[in-house]
Amino acid sequence: MTNPALIEELKTLVEPGKVLTDADSLNTYGKDWTKHFAPAPLAIAFPKSIEQVQAIVRWANQHKVALVPSGGRTGLSAGAVAANGEVVVAFDYMNQILDFNEFDRTAVCQPGVVTKQLQMFAEDKGLYYPVDFASAGSSQLGGNIGTNAGGIKVIRYGMTRNWVAGLKVVTGTGELLELNKDLIKNATGYDMRQLFIGAEGTLGFVVEATMRLDRAPKNLTAMVLGTPDFDSIMPVLHAFQNKLDLTAFEFFSDKALAKIMARGDVPAAFETDCPFYALLEFEATTEEVAEAALATFEHCVEQGWVLDGVMSQSEQQLQNLWKLREYISETISHWTPYKNDISVTVSKVPAFLHDIDAIVGEHYPDFEIVWFGHIGDGNLHLNILKPENLSKDEFFAKCATVNKWVFETVQKYNGSISAEHGVGMTKRDYLTYSRSEAEISYMKAIKAVFDPNGIMNPGKIFPL
């Protein structure tokens, strides 16, 4: 069947006007935030129901057409890129919160529900959805589940998988499965729900998710602390964890802060210039908690671990302090950064960062390096900024040559080449640095069971 005939048949499976083939739509929906691969999809389909998703998958099996899921397209590993004539299945119109159970504290969501939408829904119910990151205003739950998204609250609340009570998924054969049925305790064999979380759409599509909610935190308070060197950040983390239940502990370098300050839309935390900064957050539920935080700050200053600091005194100041961290990704995007999202256990972070920094300093002497990350859970974001005089292809080629040394260091520390962004296409050739050959063989075998014809997001996680 020719492409026009295929597309005409595809149009009969969804509502009128919900298959797009114009150049602008193909370009927009065929990519995510990565800039490594040129989008080249066959068409974009917008299902509005589970039945329509099943029909698309069965049609794709019949005609051996590959499918790529698309949500908010905020991914950073090319997991939602359609570069080889695939049909993009975009979940923009499956974007409703279908049900809420106040006793179970759960919300039943379609995959196109935006993260911020669920956060605001929970807030309206006096509850809290804690998975949070810079792209919360545009990322969708289906994508969050597909990559097991983390973000800024992992130290307290864990990853997305901690908040998924149950899933409905359409497998690579078009079969609908209901996984875990929202149970807290369920000891009846394999938990296939967890297989689909982090699978990047390679086993099937999430078409409904029951998300757990939590009590709303009280009087969230943030501190930004300047340190004389990176080695001081870990004892600061340890000191505060001994006294407080932290909801976040982030770090960023002076170069990251300089980019934010140059925008001019966020006030400085304090005047002292420091090489590194830590941002921590906690619930100041009582005066005693706030006093413990200040006493710990003073102890850190006495030890020489902290040069200066500030604690938020209002909701507005809390938001401004968070902007110093949350605006980094958007701000540095102007320089087309080459990103590495790497992690080790928290205790290994200082030695690991020193090793990586030495490699980067040796091989990228003329490149500007911006460090930031979720230090409280061992996740570091290494960003290499593109010089103006280099083309994108030249720049990425230079960066890729050093990946081997960076990922060998990750392997040495038993770390992960992708802490929270997924594997997609950008990390698939490096998977062996974090997974054994035996593990990868089992992963491929699992994919073959759920997707026997290999139509579900092919070329992601594993090479084609």
Q: By percentage, how much of the chain surpasses pLDDT 70?
A: 100
408 phi and psi angles, rounded to 5 deg: -65, -35
pLDDT per position as a tens digit, 339-354: 899 999 999 999 999 9
- Rounded to the nearest 5°, which phi and psi values hold at 333? -60, -25
Q: Are 291 and 243 found together in one domain? A: yes
Domain end marker among 93, 108, 123:
93
Distance, in Å, from the CA atom of 215 to the CA atom of 125, rounded to the nearest integer, reads 10
- Supply the CATH number for residue 211's domain: 3.30.465.10
Q: Residues, the chain, total?
A: 464
Model pLDDT for residues 182-221, shown as the tens digit of each residue: 999 999 999 999 999 999 999 999 999 999 999 999 999 9
Q: Give the CATH number, domain containing residue 74.
A: 3.30.43.10
Q: For position 396, which CATH number holds? A: 3.30.70.2740
Contact (CB, 8 A) for 166 and 186 = no
Q: Do 254 and 288 sit in the same domain of this protein?
A: yes
Q: How far is CA 304 from CA 233, 236, 350, 354, in A?
A: 11, 10, 17, 20
Q: Which residue has the tokens 């593109």?
A: 386
In-domain check, residue 101: yes
In order of 100, 130, 306, 420, the CA distances from 103 in angstroms are 9, 18, 44, 31
User: Does residue 308 sit in the same domain as residue 237?
Assistant: yes
- For residue 437, the Cα-to-chain-centroid distance in whole angstroms is 25
Q: Are both 101 and 206 inside the same structural domain?
A: yes
- In the sheet that 87-90 helps form, which strands lie side by side, from edge to edge? 19-20, 43-45, 87-90, 67-70
- In a shared domain, residues 11 and 111: no
Q: Helix or strand or coil: residue 249?
A: strand
Phi, psi of 388 (to 5 degrees): -60, -30
Q: Indicate whether 323 and 399 sit together in one domain.
A: no
Query: Under DSSP, is residue 107 helix (H, G, I), strand (E, B) or coil?
Result: strand
In order of 56, 214, 238, 276, 304, the CA distances from 229 in angstroms are 54, 36, 16, 6, 10
Mean pLDDT of 251-277: 95
Question: Which residue type is seen at 193?
Answer: R
If one counts every other C-beta atom within 10 angstroms of the C-beta of residue 359, the result is 17
pLDDT surpassing 70 at residue 359: yes
Q: Which amino acid is at 346?
A: V
Give the model confidence (pLDDT) of 88-132 as tens digits.
999 999 999 999 999 999 999 999 999 999 999 999 999 999 999
In a domain, 46, yes or no: yes
Type of residue found at 386: K
Q: Are residues 190 and 118 part of one domain?
A: yes
pLDDT > 90 in the chain, percent = 91
pLDDT higher than threshold 70 for residue 316: yes
How far from 127 is each of 104, 107, 157, 164, 166, CA to CA, in Å? 12, 11, 14, 16, 19
Domain that holds residue 424: 336-438
Residues 124 and 88 in one domain: no
Domain count for the chain, please give it. Answer: 4
Q: Return the CATH number at 323.
A: 3.30.70.2190
Task: Tell whether 292 and 382 lie within a shared domain.
Answer: no
Average pLDDT over residues 7-18: 97
Confidence band (pLDDT; 50, 70, 90) for 265? confident
Higher pLDDT, 365 or 279: 279
Using DSSP, state whether 309 is helix, strand or coil.
Answer: strand
Residues 291 and 254 in one domain: yes
Per-residue pLDDT, 271: 94
Question: What local confidence, expressed as pLDDT, does residue 1 receive?
Answer: 65
Question: Is residue 403 assigned to a domain?
Answer: yes
Considering the entire predicted model, what is its pTM? 0.95
| Average pLDDT of span 42-60 | 98
Measured between alpha carbons, how far is 427 from 34 in angstroms, rounded to an integer? 12
Is residue 181 domain-resident?
A: yes
One domain for residues 113 and 202 = yes
The pLDDT confidence band at residue 463, using thresholds 50, 70 and 90, is confident
CB 247 within 8 A of CB 319: no
Residue 177 inside a domain? The answer is yes
Q: pLDDT by residue (tens digit) across 370-419?
A: 999 999 999 999 999 999 999 988 998 888 888 889 999 999 999 999 99
Tens-place pLDDT, residues 412-459: 999 999 999 999 999 999 999 999 999 999 999 999 999 999 999 999
Q: Which residues pair with 168 in a beta bridge?
A: 178, 208
In a domain, 366, yes or no: yes
Per-residue pLDDT tens over the stretch 284-303 = 999 999 999 999 999 999 99
Do 237 and 320 reside in the same domain of the chain? yes
* Residue 431 lies inside a defined structural domain of this protein: yes
Single-letter amino acid, residue 59? W
Single-letter code of the amino acid located at 369: I
Residues 6+ apart with CB under 8 A from 159: 131, 148, 149, 150, 420
Nearest to 196 by CA among 464, 431, 456: 456
- So what's the pLDDT on residue 200? 98
Q: What angle do CA 332, 397, 402 make, to 5 degrees?
A: 85
**Is the distance from CB of 423 to CB of 461 less than 8 angstroms?**
yes
The answer to whether 311 and 278 have CB atoms below 8 angstroms apart is no
Query: Is 254 a domain residue?
Result: yes
